């Protein structure tokens, strides 16, 4: 063993798990050396979740990033000779139509993201998996590429570490916990261990179940929580003895019963042939704070394998025996069964990326085995290049607002996500029930009185529509279909579409208090934003203007989309609630890296915003402002910002529109908000729910949303957001952007699609939600562009003014023709679609005359 080092380029905390080992491997692959890995246990770990994981790899999911990371991992494990591609089943029991529909949706997501999952009949299931009672099921998803890491991910972790050590680029130290971090001037300097302090430029925390304890050393928290997960064993099961098969049968998921099953294969190649049956406590998840995880010497099996009472799982086990009677025939191996700890998280995603507080401290926590090599590849690329092969917004630790890193919130949300690991299916629009009412606008009580239908974003309670507007349903009945399919209608309120139409005919107020607001001040604030933004920011002519622009990454791809106010002494960035926190941390880091003297401050809770839009926006606003003439078209040009006064309060009015109508965003101090709301409502203008703003009118206007339609997977020209001219000043991504402009066409374009017919095979009109693969009707295959990127609906909604389902999707250049016929797949059925516009193409008011009226 090498001498204990006192310095390294990188220290990995938690090297012994599959995540730590994979990070070491990928950093080395990206050219890093002088890496030290430490682990509080053995290497490979004998106490972490890698030591007991079931090692499933199912790639098919509704999340593109996790499909990508799992497919990458499968390939990685297979190349190492450690993957059994036995295939995986997910069954729907007779009577469980919700599960059956979910499986069909999953197959569609698989087609969108590139898996080979398909639906198969009960007879086909029986053929693949003879242990099943065929009459218990109505169908199944079959993924031929699902499988298991063999013999265990723990073995792979050991092998990766051995290889890395052999390369001379990694030194590994087991039984060496991190006891504190050395942090100076907001930067990581090293890790303290009982064996000595290792100074380092970078520290990557891969400590899995104990990750929160390491984050605490940096004064921050991770939104993750270990949760019990019963793993039970039945045997002996020696059907595959001497067959040479590591694993004999496909994997079986029975999510309707919150359970799964697998065999452990040939006893000669494993620990003895058994069947593993696993379960998730979904009605009563049992969290275990990392502080309460036992030390090794006190644990019966290991700290992450906690004792299990069979009675706790008896009733789901009985249901499992109905499906797979063999479980009742084999003996229960009590001594080998346990509650394995796995990580659950507040939003289902891991915590990856640089610390919010300490530069050079990175987290890679809450990663399942199936994603570990893929996530490690992203981490290594991110650390090395500042970007990753696919957009990483959904895993970035910077995505969390401060309230989302508080203990109570973490616990509430983790309980909720733990209760939804398998069942019931999660609707794409499903709001969280826990961790609510964190942020309420000053008009919240008024909205409650109006019968607001609330969902949450960025901690804000947002009304998507108001019961008080239901009388409008009669007025617009012919334009607002009743959604007969429960799934299409879930978490949707028909009144929202009536509000949409009323705003179009007259005027409406929209509560936009959820905007994430960041003030950038200091001598270099313009220089920072000039460097980051594609639009020109500097120059006195821009003072008093609102500017819509983007941050690009070094590849010229879109990483942020927002408006900003160029004020005399500051820039205020107005951002989506979802995207804002990441952009705030990004600006701070870039300013620091470039040595700029700026202060970046989150002012989200200090100000609120109301939108007033519609053909009568001006006349209504003129009724309550102190100087009505100032609102006249000639006095208040489009995109201008002007101070106005309403109800004796100072308001910053911004003439802009995300809903394609005449009107303003009105920004004011939080404490002035209620008076302004009441004054505006006194004119008789209705409150319009945020559904119109965020979804229905947005898509009628072909407007793009960051983290849905805009991602770093596509460039600014593909998103059709490039300006006519490129600004003089240099900016991040400019060189690549110029290269993109020089092409005669882009590999793909973000297009507007309409569903030309939405009747399903039962004659029911459908209003699809979620991810739908976009296919060529000739072949039935999902479209793929020349860079291998697949086409799916990044947004989809019914537009009541247009009377059709409208979607946005990136299409390969070969299919970018207006009128081109396509199809989309939803719940096992295909619907004809058509390209309504290549690139940015509003279907409502295509000339954009209304906002400028
Ligand atoms: N803990 C076992 C994982 C099972 C699954 O991936 O469904």
Query: For the segment 601-653, what is each residue's pLDDT rounded down to a tens digit?
Result: 999 999 999 999 999 999 999 999 999 999 999 999 999 999 999 999 999 99
**Closest by Cα among 108, 245, 59 to 793:** 108
Compute the distance from residue 423 Cα to the ligand 1 centre, in Å.
Answer: 13
User: Which pLDDT belongs to residue 264?
Assistant: 87
- Pair 546, 563: CB distance under 8 Å: yes
Domains belonging to the chain, first-starting first, are 7-345 (3.30.9.10), 511-743 (3.30.1360.120), 744-853 (2.40.30.110)
Q: Is the pLDDT of residue 268 over 80?
A: no
User: Which pLDDT belongs to residue 245?
Assistant: 86
Residue 149 bridge partners (DSSP):
83
Element (H, E) at 473: helix 471-475
Residues in the chain, overall count: 853
Residue 550 bridge partners (DSSP):
561
Q: Which ligand 1 atom is nearest residue 57's CA? A: 6
pLDDT digits (tens, 9 = 90+) for 702-713: 999 999 999 999
User: Which pLDDT belongs to residue 405?
Assistant: 98
Residue nearest atom 6 in ligand 1 by C-alpha distance: 56
Four-point Cα dihedral 774, 775, 777, 781, nearest 10:
-170
Mean of pLDDT values over 422-446: 96
Q: Which ligand 1 atom is nearest residue 342's CA? A: 1
Token pair belonging to 498: 């009536």
**Closest by Cα among 705, 458, 462 to 605:** 458
Q: Is the pLDDT of residue 6 over 90?
A: yes
Q: Is the pLDDT of residue 267 over 90?
A: no
**Which residues are near ligand 1 (CB < 6 Å)?**
54, 56, 58, 229, 253, 260, 278
* Percent of the chain whose predicted confidence (pLDDT) is above 70: 100
Compute the distance from residue 280 Cα to the ligand 1 centre, in Å.
Answer: 9
Token pair belonging to 259: 């359970």
Compute the distance from residue 157 Cα to the ligand 1 centre, in Å.
Answer: 18
User: Which pLDDT belongs to residue 454?
Assistant: 98
Mean of pLDDT values over 681-704: 98
Q: Which ligand 1 atom is nearest residue 54's CA? A: 2
Compute the distance from residue 84 Cα to the ligand 1 centre, in Å.
Answer: 15
Residue nearest atom 5 in ligand 1 by C-alpha distance: 56
**What ranges in 241-395 are assigned the alpha helix state H?**
314-323, 326-329, 372-385
Mean of pLDDT values over 40-51: 96
**What ranges in 351-419 are assigned the alpha helix state H?**
372-385, 407-418
**Closest by Cα among 409, 601, 635 to 517:** 601
Mean of pLDDT over the chain: 97
Q: Is the pLDDT of residue 271 over 80?
A: no
3-state secondary structure (DSSP) of residue 402: helix
- Pair 198, 7: CB distance under 8 Å: yes
User: Which pLDDT belongs to residue 676?
Assistant: 98
Mean of pLDDT values over 183-189: 98
Compute the distance from residue 260 Cα to the ligand 1 centre, in Å.
Answer: 7
Q: What is the residue-wise DSSP string for 164-214?
A: HHHTTSEEEESS----EEEEETTEEEEEEETTEEEEEEEEEE--GGGHHHH
Q: How far is CA 326 from CA 126, 257, 262, 274, 311, in A?
A: 14, 17, 12, 11, 19
Q: Which ligand 1 atom is nearest residue 58's CA? A: 6
Give 266's pLDDT tier (boundaries 50, 70, 90): confident
- Pair 324, 131: CB distance under 8 Å: yes
- Pair 70, 149: CB distance under 8 Å: no
pTM higher than the cut 0.90: yes
Q: Which ligand 1 atom is nearest residue 56's CA? A: 6
Q: Is the pLDDT of residue 1 over 80?
A: no
Q: Is the pLDDT of residue 569 over 80?
A: yes
Burial label for 389, CB within 10 Å (0-12, 13-18, 19+), is: middle
294 DSSP 8-state letter: P
Token pair belonging to 565: 């106010």
pLDDT digits (tens, 9 = 90+) for 383-395: 999 999 999 999 9
Mutate to test the pocket of ligand 1, among 106, 227, 262, 278 (most ligand atoms within 8 A of CB): 278
Mean of pLDDT values over 772-791: 98
User: Which pLDDT belongs to residue 352?
Assistant: 98
The total of other beta-carbon atoms located within 10 Å of residue 444's CB is 20
Compute the distance from residue 261 Cα to the ligand 1 centre, in Å.
Answer: 9
The 8 Å CB, 24+ separation contacts for 596-600 are: 596/522, 596/524, 596/527, 596/528, 597/522, 597/523, 597/524, 598/520, 598/521, 598/522, 598/523, 598/524, 598/525, 598/528, 599/519, 599/520, 599/521, 599/522, 600/518, 600/519, 600/520
Compute the distance from residue 515 Cα to the ligand 1 centre, in Å.
Answer: 37
Compute the distance from residue 279 Cα to the ligand 1 centre, in Å.
Answer: 9
Give 243's pLDDT tier (boundaries 50, 70, 90): confident
Mutate to test the pocket of ligand 1, among 56, 233, 262, 337 (most ligand atoms within 8 A of CB): 56
**Closest by Cα among 403, 502, 496, 511 to 462:** 511
For 36, residues 6+ apart whose C-beta sits below 8 A from its C-beta are: 5, 8, 10, 11, 12, 170, 171, 172, 173, 198, 200
Compute the distance from residue 56 Cα to the ligand 1 centre, in Å.
Answer: 5
Residue nearest atom 1 in ligand 1 by C-alpha distance: 54
pLDDT digits (tens, 9 = 90+) for 89-98: 999 999 999 9
Compute the distance from residue 54 Cα to the ligand 1 centre, in Å.
Answer: 6
pLDDT digits (tens, 9 = 90+) for 441-471: 999 999 999 999 999 999 999 999 999 999 9
Mutate to test the pocket of ligand 1, among 18, 54, 343 (most ligand atoms within 8 A of CB): 54
Mean of pLDDT values over 334-358: 97
- Pair 91, 120: CB distance under 8 Å: no
Measure the N-to-C terminal CA separation of the chain; round to a whole number of Å: 76
For tokens 């005919």, name the residue. Answer: 505
Q: Is the pLDDT of residue 244 over 90?
A: no
Residue 589 bridge partners (DSSP):
none
Token pair belonging to 109: 């997501």
Q: Is the pLDDT of residue 741 over 90?
A: yes
Q: Which ligand 1 atom is nearest residue 340's CA? A: 1
- Report, in angstroms and rounded to the nearest whole number, the Rg of the chain calculated over CA atoms: 28
Residue nearest atom 2 in ligand 1 by C-alpha distance: 54
- Tell me: cis bond preceding 44? Omega within 30 of 0 counts: yes
Compute the distance from residue 576 Cα to the ligand 1 centre, in Å.
Answer: 34
Q: Is the pLDDT of residue 714 over 80?
A: yes
How do 35-38 and 170-173 pair as beta strands?
Answer: parallel
Chain centroid offset of residue 11 CA = 28
**Closest by Cα among 31, 20, 344 to 203:** 20
Q: Which ligand 1 atom is nearest residue 422's CA? A: 7
Residue nearest atom 4 in ligand 1 by C-alpha distance: 56
Compute the distance from residue 251 Cα to the ligand 1 centre, in Å.
Answer: 10
Mean of pLDDT values over 265-293: 90
Burial label for 765, CB within 10 Å (0-12, 13-18, 19+), is: middle
Compute the distance from residue 335 Cα to the ligand 1 centre, in Å.
Answer: 21
Chain centroid offset of residue 663 CA = 32
User: Which pLDDT belongs to residue 272?
Assistant: 79
Instruction: Give ipTM to 2 decimals.
Output: 0.90
Which segments of 20-134 are extended strands (E)? 35-38, 56-57, 83-84, 88-93, 118-120
Element (H, E) at 113: helix 97-113
For 316, residues 6+ apart whose C-beta sits below 8 A from its C-beta are: 257, 258, 259, 279
């Amino acid at each position: 063993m090498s001498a204990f080092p006192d310095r390294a380029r990188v220290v990995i905390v938690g090297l012994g798990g599959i995540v730590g080992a994979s990070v070491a491997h990928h950093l080395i692959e990206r050219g890093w050396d002088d890496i030290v890995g430490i682990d509080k246990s053995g290497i490979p770990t004998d106490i972490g979740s890698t030591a007991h994981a079931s090692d499933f790899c199912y790639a098919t999911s509704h999340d593109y990033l996790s499909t990508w990371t799992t497919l990458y991992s499968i390939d990685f494990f297979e190349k190492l000779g450690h993957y059994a591609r036995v295939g995986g089943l997910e069954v729907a029991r007779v009577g469980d139509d919700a599960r059956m529909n979910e499986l069909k949706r999953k197959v569609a997501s698989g087609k969108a993201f590139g898996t080979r999952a398909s639906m198969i009949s009960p007879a086909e299931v029986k053929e693949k998996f003879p242990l099943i009672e065929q009459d218990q099921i109505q169908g199944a998803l079959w993924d031929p590429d699902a499988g298991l890491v063999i013999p265990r991910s723990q073995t792979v972790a050991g092998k990766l570490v051995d290889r890395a050590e052999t390369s001379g680029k990694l030194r590994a130290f087991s039984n060496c916990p991190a006891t504190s971090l050395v942090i100076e001037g907001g930067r990581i300097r090293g890790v303290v261990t009982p064996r000595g302090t290792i100074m380092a430029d970078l520290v990557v925390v891969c400590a899995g179940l104990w990750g929160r304890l390491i984050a605490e050393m940096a004064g921050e928290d991770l939104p993750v929580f270990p949760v019990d997960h019963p793993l039970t064993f039945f045997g002996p099961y020696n059907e595959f003895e001497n067959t040479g098969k590591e694993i004999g049968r496909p994997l079986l998921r029975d999510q309707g019963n919150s359970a799964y099953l697998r065999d452990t294969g040939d006893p000669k190649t494993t620990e003895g042939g058994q069947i593993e049956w696993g379960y998730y406590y979904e009605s009563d998840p049992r969290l275990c704070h990392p502080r309460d995880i036992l030390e090794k010497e006190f644990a019966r099996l290991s700290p992450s394998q906690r004792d299990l009472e069979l009675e706790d799982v008896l009733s789901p086990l009985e249901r499992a025996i109905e499906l797979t009677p063999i479980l009742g025939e084999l003996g229960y191996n009590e001594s080998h069964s346990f509650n394995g700890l796995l990580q659950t998280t507040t939003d289902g995603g891991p915590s990856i990326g640089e610390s919010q507080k300490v530069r050079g401290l990175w987290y890679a926590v809450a990663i399942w085995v199936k994603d570990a090599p893929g996530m490690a590849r992203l981490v290594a690329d991110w650390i090395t290049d500042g970007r990753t092969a696919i957009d990483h917004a959904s895993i970035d630790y910077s995505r969390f607002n401060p309230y989302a890193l508080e203990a109570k919130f973490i616990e509430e949300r983790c309980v909720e996500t733990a209760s939804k690991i398998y069942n019931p299916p999660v609707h794409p629009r499903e709001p969280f029930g826990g961790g609510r009412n964190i942020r309420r606008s000053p008009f919240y009580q008024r909205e409650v009185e109006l019968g607001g239908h609330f969902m949450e974003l960025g901690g804000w309670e947002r009304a998507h529509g108001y019961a008080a507007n239901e009388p409008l349903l009669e007025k617009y009945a012919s334009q607002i279909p009743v959604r007969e399919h429960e799934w299409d209608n879930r978490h949707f309120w028909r009144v929202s579409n009536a509000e949409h139409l009323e705003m179009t005919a007259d005027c409406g107020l929209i509560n936009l208090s959820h905007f994430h607001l960041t003030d950038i001040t200091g001598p270099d604030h313009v220089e920072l934003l000039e460097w980051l933004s594609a639009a020109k920011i500097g120059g006195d002519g821009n003072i008093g203007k609102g500017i819509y622009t983007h941050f690009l990454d070094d590849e010229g791809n879109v990483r942020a989309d927002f408006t900003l106010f160029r004020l005399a002494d500051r820039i205020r960035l107005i951002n989506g609630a979802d995207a804002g926190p990441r952009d705030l941390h990004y600006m701070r880091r870039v300013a620091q890296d470039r040595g700029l003297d700026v202060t970046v401050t989150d002012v989200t809770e200090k100000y609120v915003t109301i939108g007033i839009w519609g053909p009568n926006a001006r006349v209504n606003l003129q009724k309550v402002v102190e100087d009505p003439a100032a609102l006249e078209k000639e006095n208040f040009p489009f995109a201008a910002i002007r101070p106005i006064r309403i109800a004796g309060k100072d308001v910053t009015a911004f003439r802009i529109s995300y809903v394609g109508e005449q009107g303003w965003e009105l920004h004011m101090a939080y404490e002035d908000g209620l008076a302004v709301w009441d004054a505006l409502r006194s004119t008789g203008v209705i409150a319009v729910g945020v559904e119109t703003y965020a979804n229905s009118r947005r898509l009628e206007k072909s407007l793009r949303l960051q983290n849905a339609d805009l991602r770093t997977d596509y460039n600014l020209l593909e998103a059709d957001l490039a300006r006519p001219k490129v600004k003089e000043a240099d900016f991040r991504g400019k060189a690549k952007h110029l290269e993109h402009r020089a092409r005669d066409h882009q590999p793909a374009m973000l297009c507007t699609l309409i569903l030309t017919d939405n009747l399903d095979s039962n004659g029911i009109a459908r209003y699809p939600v979620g991810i739908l693969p976009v296919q060529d009707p000739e072949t039935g295959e999902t479209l793929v562009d020349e860079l291998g990127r697949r086409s799916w609906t990044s947004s989809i909604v019914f537009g009541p003014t247009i009377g059709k389902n409208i979607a946005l999707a990136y299409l390969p250049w070969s299919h970018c023709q207006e009128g081109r016929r396509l199809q989309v797949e939803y719940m096992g059925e295909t619907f004809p679609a058509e390209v309504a516009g290549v690139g940015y193409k509003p279907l409502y008011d295509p000339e954009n005359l209304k906002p400028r009226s």
